[in-house]
Amino acid sequence: MNTAFKNLGDFIKGLTALVMSLIGLGILLQIAGVGGFIDVIGAIGDAIGRIGNDFTGLVTLLVVLAFLK
């Protein structure tokens, strides 16, 4: 049972690292003017803007901080 949870934890850590890398790549592509199909910077700005406005923004901040640990 412990190995199953360890494997699941490793999978989630790997998936989180992949998503963080894709976010970084999206930001770089958007700054370079190549990636116009997804507005990564705008989405991050919207999420940060919601943090002060409602409870959902606070929960979003806590989830992001949990991923960064």
User: How far is 1 from 11, CA to CA, in rounded Å?
Assistant: 15
Token duo for residue 52: 């002060």
Confidence check: pLDDT of 35 > 80: no
Confidence check: pLDDT of 66 > 90: no
Token duo for residue 18: 């992949």
- Give the pLDDT of residue 46: 79
Confidence check: pLDDT of 11 > 90: yes
Name the nearest CA neighbour of 65 among 1, 16, 3.
Answer: 16
Domain boundaries, the chain: 2-68
Indicate yes or no: pTM above 0.75: no
Question: pLDDT tens digit string along 37-55?
Answer: 777 777 877 777 777 677 7
